[in-house]
Amino acid sequence: MDLAILAGIDTGRENFDYEMSELAALTEAAEIKPDLTIIQKLDKPVTATYFGSGKLTEIKEAASATEAEFLIMNDELTPTQLRNCEDQTGLTVIDRTALILQIFARRAQTREAKLQVQIASLQYRLPRLRTSSLNRFDQQTAGSGGGFTSRGAGETKMELNRRTIQDQITHLRRQLKEVEAEEKTKRKSRDRSNLKTVALVGYTNAGKSTTMNHLLSLTGQDPDKQVLEKNMLFATLDTSVRHLEFDDHKQILLSDTVGFVSRLPHQLVEAFKTTLAEAAQADLLVQVVDVSDPHAKQMVKTTEETLEEIGVRGIPMIYAFNKADLTPGLRYPEIAGDQITFSARDEESIKLLSQMIKKTVFADFVTRTYLIPFDQGKFLEQLNSNATIQKTDYTAEGTLITAEVSPATAGIMQRFEFETSK
Ligand SMILES: Nc1nc2c(ncn2[C@@H]2O[C@H](COP(=O)(O)OP(=O)(O)OP(=O)(O)O)[C@@H](O)[C@H]2O)c(=O)[nH]1
Ligand SMILES: [Mg+2]
C-alpha cells in the first residue's frame, strides 16, 4: 500500500487533534497508509507555501527516509500552495478536499452519486489544472506529463483543458438534473401517500445503515431491502428510502443517507444538496452517534454544522447514542428525554428505538371510540388497515371500536364518534 506523510498546521483551535485523527481515518479509507505525522504550529498557513520553508525541508527529509509517496494535508490548499509544496518536497500533495473527493469517487454506486462526485471533482480541478502530479492521483485525468514548463504551449493547452472541463461540467449538470427530476417524481408520489418520514443522519460510520437494517428486520421487511453496512468511512453515498409498517399498523418512510465528516468539501455539499434534501423534508431526524468514540461530542457538532449548511433547520431530533455495547459499564437500552443509548445490533434496543420514534412522530395522533354501523363496512376496513386498534366490540347497532388515529383519519371518522358517558 502507498505510504503517506500526514501534515497539518496547528493554529491552536480546539478541534485540531480530532481533525488530525479524522485525517488519518480518511487516508486509510482512500487505501493509503499513514506513516508519520508532521505538525507545525503557526497562526495561519504561509500564503505561498502553506508550511514554512524549514518545515518543508523536514518533510522532504522524512519522506526520503520513509519512502512515502504522498503528502496529505489537513486543509484545502490554494493552487499555488499545492504546487510549491510539491516542488519543494518532491511528494504528491493531496489536500483534505482531494482526499475526500477521492473516497467518494471510489464509493459512488448509483448514477446520481457518480454524477454528483464527478461534478465536484471537476470543480475542484478547474483552478488547479497546472498541478500535474495531482493528475497522477486522480484517475479520471488523462495524464498530461510533468507540468507546463514551456509557457506558451502550456498556456494554450491549459486554456483548452479549462474549456473542456467547463463543458464537461455543464454536460454532467444537465444529466444530473434529469436524474434528479426522476428522483423528485418518485419523492412526490411518496409524499402523496402522506406518510410520516424519518431520516437517519450523523457522522460517517456511526451505524446509520445498521440501525436502518435492524429496524427493517424488526418490521419483517424483505432481507433484500437491506442497505450496505460496513466498517468504513462513507460506506453509504446514496439515499435509500424504505417503507416500514410496525405491527400496530403505524407506518413511516425511513431514509438512510450519506454520513458527514468535519469540513465536508463545499463542492460535495453543493453536489449532494438534492440528495440530502431528503433529510430536509423529514418529520423527524434520528441523529446516530457512535458513543464509544472518544470524539463523539465533536461528531455531534460536525453533524449539526453540516445540517445547518445544507439548510436543515427546525426539525425535531432524537439523539441515538449507538454502539453502547462497546463501552463497558454503559447501561442500554435506555431513554432520557430526547436521547436514547442503544446498540443497533441488539433487538431490545431496536424495539425501544422504534417505540421512541413512533411516540415522537405520531405525537399528534389521537385515541377515539367509534360506533360504525354494519352497513358502513368500508370505514371499518379503513380503520383496521390504517389505525392502531385498541379494542373492538360487536353491539346491536354496529361495531364499537377504539383506535389511535391520525388527525386526518379523525376528521373523516368524526361522524361515527361514540359519546362515552363520563
Ligand atoms: N459493536 C457495534 N458495532 C456496530 C453497531 N452499529 C454499527 N456497528 C458497526 O459499525 C460499522 C459502521 O456501520 P454502518 O451502519 O455502515 O455505519 P453508517 O453510519 O451507515 O456509515 P456510513 O454509511 O459510512 O456513513 C459497521 O461495521 C457496523 O457493523 C453497534 O451497535 N455495535
Ligand atoms: Mg451507511
pLDDT digits (tens, 9 = 90+) for 155-205: 566 666 888 999 999 999 999 999 988 877 877 776 656 789 999 999 999
- Whether the CB-CB separation of 363 and 372 falls below 8 Å is answered with no
pLDDT value of residue 113: 87
Per-residue HEC secondary structure of 99-113 comes to HHHHHHHHHCCCHHH
Instruction: Give the separation between CA 170 and CA 163, rounded to whole angstroms.
Output: 11
* Dihedrals phi, psi of 396, to nearest 5 degrees: -65, -30
**Residue 378 parent element (H or E):** helix 377-386
SS3 for 250?
Answer: coil
Confidence of residue 420 (pLDDT cuts 50, 70, 90): low
Of 232 and 330, the structure prediction assigns the larger pLDDT to: 330
What amino acid is encoded at 273 in this protein? K
- Cell digits for 389? 386498534
Q: Could you list which residues have their CB under 5 Å from ion ligand 2?
A: 208-209, 235-236
Is 259 labelled a binding residue? yes
Residues with CB under 6 A from ligand 1: 204-210, 229-231, 233-236, 259, 288, 322-323, 325-326, 343-345
Q: How far is CA 155 from CA 46, 130, 151, 209, in A?
A: 27, 9, 6, 47
pLDDT mean across residues, the chain: 88
- Whether the CB-CB separation of 4 and 68 falls below 8 Å is answered with yes
- Whether the CB-CB separation of 202 and 260 falls below 8 Å is answered with yes
Give ∠ CA 273-233-165 in degrees, rounded to 5. Answer: 50
Residues 6+ apart with CB under 8 A from 61: none
Instruction: Give the separation between CA 60 and CA 89, rounded to whole angstroms.
Output: 5
Instruction: Give the separation between CA 192 and CA 16, rounded to whole angstroms.
Output: 46
pLDDT value of residue 150: 36
pLDDT in tens, 2-50: 999 999 999 998 889 999 999 999 999 999 999 999 999 999 999 999 9
- Whether the CB-CB separation of 202 and 255 falls below 8 Å is answered with no
Taking alpha carbons only, the member of 126, 116, 120 closest to residue 163 is 126
CA 106 / ligand 2 centre spacing (Å): 15
Of 313 and 286, the structure prediction assigns the larger pLDDT to: 286
Residue from 209, 268, 325, 353 whose mutation best tests the ligand 1 pocket (most atoms within 8 A of CB): 209
Over residues 260-266, the mean pLDDT reads: 87
Instruction: Give the separation between CA 159 and CA 130, rounded to whole angstroms.
Output: 11
Strand partners, 49: none
Over residues 46-67, the mean pLDDT reads: 94
The H-assigned helical ranges of 229-376 are 266-280, 296-309, 347-361
Q: Which ligand is nearest to the CA of 327?
A: 1
Per-residue HEC secondary structure of 380-401 comes to HHHHHHHCEEEEEEECCCCEEE
Residues 6+ apart with CB under 8 A from 416: 370, 371, 372, 376, 379
Over residues 405-419, the mean pLDDT reads: 91
- Whether the CB-CB separation of 398 and 372 falls below 8 Å is answered with yes
Q: Which ligand is nearest to the CA of 201?
A: 1
Residue from 230, 242, 334 whose mutation best tests the ligand 1 pocket (most atoms within 8 A of CB): 230
CA 198 / ligand 2 centre spacing (Å): 15
Instruction: Give the separation between CA 197 and CA 254, rounded to whole angstroms.
Output: 6
- Cell digits for 114? 457518480
Weakest-pLDDT range from 76-80, 130-134, 299-303: 130-134
Over residues 336-346, the mean pLDDT reads: 97
Residue of the nearest CA to atom 13 in ligand 1?
A: 207
* Dihedrals phi, psi of 284, to nearest 5 degrees: -150, 140
Instruction: Give the separation between CA 156 and CA 171, rounded to whole angstroms.
Output: 23
pLDDT in tens, 349-358: 999 999 999 9
Q: How many CA atoms lie within 13 A of 373 on its CB side?
A: 3
Does residue 136 surpass a pLDDT of 80? no
Rounded (to 5) percent helix, strand, coil in the chain: 50, 20, 30
Residues 6+ apart with CB under 8 A from 192: none
- Any idea how long the chain is? 422
> In ligand 1, which atom is closest to the CA atom of 322?
31
Instruction: Give the separation between CA 31 and CA 25, rounded to whole angstroms.
Output: 10
Over residues 293-321, the mean pLDDT reads: 93
Is 174 labelled a binding residue? no
Does residue 132 surpass a pLDDT of 60? no
pLDDT value of residue 357: 97
pLDDT value of residue 128: 85
CA 339 / ligand 1 centre spacing (Å): 19
| Rounded percentage of the chain residues whose pLDDT exceeds 70 | 91
